[in-house]
Chains A and B, each alone.
Chain A
Amino acid sequence: MAVIVEFVVQGVQMVLVLLLAPLLTGFVRKVKARLLRRQGPPLLQPYLDLVRLMRKEVVLAESASWLFRAIPYLIFAATWVAASLVPTFRTGLMFSWSADLIAIIALLGSARFFQALAGLDVGTSFGGIGSSREVMIASLAEPAMIMIVFTLALIAGSTQLSSIAEFMGSPAVGLRVSLGLVLVALTLVAIAENGRIPVDNPATHLELTMVHEAMVLEYSGRHLALIDLSASLKLLLYISLVACLFAPWGIAPSDAGTAVLTIGIAAYVVKLAISGFLLAFFETSIAKMRVFRVPEFLGVALMLGLLATLLRFVSRGF
């Protein structure tokens, strides 16, 4: 019986992240538009976009290979698996032990690897420009992320995201310098990984500034729908990650009943809304930076992460 309940809770999480992801994207867009005094698209527009794309035929470039058609499914699978392992409304999910935080980061790395390959597959210069910039950004964001994981693991004594989240929710955690550094570094990495302003502009189709959009330029129809959904999922994942680490309030423990779980879900939705609003606010208040300023931006994240790890190595007090 307990196994079935666990299984259902895990399933709820998988469905929940999938359903909420487009809504979050729509919410961020709406808030951005309202902050700019525009009416903005309806909140549910991302769902409508997905349905529309699903209905359309796929226009495939003549030079596209079988890999090009397989990659949307690979990206979606890797991102979805990663997203369903991050504690959202409950810790200690049934399969949370199958991949720790390092593995979750690596799963997102797999998704990016294939995304960058898709950019090169058709053999256009825009695809290449997107891929080459994406891997440049990733080559700094991933080490920064690993440093963040190191610090968290040293503080919580575990690389299991579930255990870390439980520890961060317990009074044992206290206020620490290294945690502050990690929060800043994680925010910078999350912005870069999701291609948000100031690193990349998710709304742009101005050729010279595109990164993510340039890679998926040749995609259409159901393939594009999957890739858009994966991008939304990734945004949701990073926001959930920040939320479960730095705002672990309301997350239900693994032995919680239905009532606590409902509270957990409600708290999670509230957290998503607040983070989405903050993201939109941040994005409207800053300009996109030149591509070659991004290494400096991420270099800061890497240095903060390394500093936090060093502090943890030097003393347990920080």
Chain B
Amino acid sequence: MTMLTVALSCAATLLVLAVAAPFIARSLANTLVYGLCAAAALISLFAALDHVLGATTPEGVALPLGIPWLGAHFRIDPLSAFFLAVVDLGAAAASLFALGHGHHEESPLRVLPFYPAFLAGMTLVLLADDAFTFLVSWEFMSLTSWALVMSHHGVRDNVHAGYVYLVMAVFGTLSLLLAFGLLAGPEGTYTFGQIRSMHPTPGLAAIVLILALIGAGSKAGLVPLHVWLPLAHPAAPSHVSALMSGVMTKVAVYGFVRIIFDLAGEPAWWWSILVLALGGITAVMGVVYALMQHDLKRLLAYHTVENIGIIFIGLGLALAFRAHGLVFAAALALTAGLLHVFNHSVFKSLLFFGSGAVLTATGERDMEHLGGLIHRMPQTAFVFLVGCAAISALPPLNGFVSEWLTFQAILLSPQISSWGLRLLVPAVGAMLALSAALAAACFVKAFGVTFLGRARTPAVARATETDRHSLGAMYFLAALCLVAGVLPGVFIDALAPVAESLVGGRMPLQTGMQQWLSIVPIEASRSSYDGLLVFLFMVISGTLAAFAIHRLASDRLRRAPAWDCGYPDQSAATQYTASSFAQPIRRVFGTVVFHAREHGDMPGPGDMRPARLVVDLRDLIWDAVYAPIAKAIGVIADRLNHLQFLTIRQSLSLVFTALVILLLVLAIWP
């Protein structure tokens, strides 16, 4: 049995499971559904890994599904196998987490049927080998995830989130539909193999690029198309949030890579300018937005936006190098971007799991009401800390490796001959550095306010540690963060066939030839990094310090009230909150980005309400892009409203006129 068959059977099993889920006995449903999902994801994961590591040739199959004379084509190649591995890994972890977490679900039937369907949808997008199957799977993935977002539809915000998500998803799919329509050409060649041999004209390819950026970018969360993401991702149950943020955005990245690197032919040099600029802006804006949040899950969702920006910076660099014929540099940049795809899926899933554990333990998502959870949930706190350190790109964890590779790719870009790019790339490098530093600040806030300090509410002070399935899933991902950080060479080598198939070059082999498993992207005299050695060094020097202190220093320890410069305050409300923590950064960056203003709201004489400090933040992107569109639609709808009340004669003549005009247009169309 081929690996493609295995992966497809897993998807089919998941679909059957989705249909069967409502009929399983209530007591068994959670365990059975998530257990089977985990098993299917694992089997599919092994199939994908086998394909990636075995470097086997791509294999395809045409099934008599869908439109009768078209059929459905599926294919697995290194690119789709890599993304399939990312999806299945996330899905397996999320299913394991949900084995415990799912028991807290109030209305499981709103989640259980859609969850396997969502997984199947993502798998099918990755395996699709014709435009039709791709789009149907894409839309299926969107709709099932929309259903999951709406599973807690009693909450008012969630309904709004679902609505915005649906609008953006439909808009994105429409763009992709048009992109594939252009790629398919007048003959309507829908299979990817035929599209690949078409070689569209430069003008056509440019439009395809923009449509792909809109279609895949809106799903991935590129600024300014990100607005739905921080609303929808947190609204879903936490394991689904993890899947949407950690995995579904990666499927969108896959869509972009598939269309631009594989189907749209040779890139023009200016394509990368668009991708790089969008990536840089997305990275910085995402993290600045995140810093202003005090809802834990929404903060994480904004960080997804940031990381998508980092991934697109890598992809943009790869496009730039490829357009200038610098094959090895393109392979390096692409590998950096794809490695970040993997890394982000791992630590973002971990962080969403952690936020889910906090949510079930305390009923709170608002960080201003949390605090001190490290005492009540020490294990969750530990793994969440690992995730925070990884996403903040701290060595020796995995987030650092992909950012380091991206920096190395940026340092190769003076070789590019076009001036526009040579001026843009340093600026993008500065944006990347800025977003990395701000991400660290943001995760000091996220971890510090949630887990450290003292409990801010009684409910939080009574919180208990989460269940062992959830902990198991989180420990697994935390371990993966460390492994991918100290042995990055293995993961880079696994990406070599992907880079080879897309840009025609590969990075030098990392495992086996270098000493101590260090990674050397170009050559040893230029740059190298050894996560394992750095990790060992830190462990050894930390242990040495601990040993010396243990032997030489006093080991007495006394518990006492906090010192706090002599005035310890008993009330937990005097601690720094998330908003007060972010205040300096808000003053530095927010005054420009959000027009942030602070003013005191002082009650008049005789008024008994407390005085408040009010912070005004304006979302300029919403104000500048979405508000005018919403307003225009409202105005047009108002104007056209009377069309509903036309008499039948007027309606008929309207239809007739429209028909004549359309036919006229067709007649004079060249």
Contacts and interface: CB of A to CB of B under 8 A. Distances in A.
Nearest to A222: B553
B561 A135 contact: no
Contacts of B423: 310, 313-314
Contacts of A67: 374, 381, 385, 452
B563 A217 contact: yes
Interface string B501-541: 00000000000000010100000111111100110011101
Contacts of B448: 116-117, 119-121, 131
A77 B434 contact: no
A113 interface: yes
A313 B422 CA distance: 6
Interface stretch (A151-159, A238-246, A255-263, A271-279): A151-159
A76 B563 contact: no
Q: Which of A110, A133, A225 has the most CB of B within 10 A?
A: A110
Interface string A43-65: 00000000000111111111111
A2 to B, nearest CB: 14
A139 B410 CA distance: 20
Interface residues of B, number: 89
B636 interface: no
A97 B518 contact: yes
Contact of A63 (B427, B454, B576): B454
A81 B534 contact: yes
B433 interface: yes
A136 B590 CA distance: 12
Contacts of B582: 132
Interface residues of A, number: 88
B430 A63 contact: no
Contacts, number: 289
B565 A207 contact: yes
Interface centre among A59, A74, A129 (most CB of B within 10 A): A59
B433 A132 contact: no
B574 interface: yes
Interface string A144-167: 001100100110011110010000
A120 B449 contact: yes
A111 to B, nearest CB: 9
Nearest to A53: B553
B394 interface: yes
Contacts of B558: 57-60
Nearest to A133: B584
Given A120-B452, A122-B453, A159 B444 contact: no
Interface of B: 371-372, 374-375, 378, 381, 385, 389, 392-395, 400, 404, 407-408, 410-411, 413-414, 422-423, 425-427, 429-430, 433-434, 436-438, 440-441, 443-445, 447-449, 452-454, 516, 518, 524-530, 533-534, 537-539, 541-542, 545-546, 549, 552-554, 556-565, 568-569, 572, 574-576, 580-585, 587-588
Interface of A: 54-67, 73-74, 76-78, 80-81, 95, 97-100, 102-103, 106-107, 109-110, 112-113, 116-117, 119-129, 131-133, 135-136, 138-143, 146-147, 150, 153-154, 157-160, 163, 205, 207, 217-218, 221-222, 225-226, 291-292, 295, 302, 305-306, 309-310, 312-314, 316
26 contacts: A55-B553, A55-B554, A60-B558, A66-B374, A73-B546, A95-B537, A98-B533, A106-B394, A110-B389, A113-B392, A113-B394, A121-B448, A123-B452, A123-B562, A125-B564, A125-B569, A125-B576, A132-B585, A142-B433, A143-B437, A147-B430, A150-B411, A205-B565, A309-B426, A313-B413, A313-B422
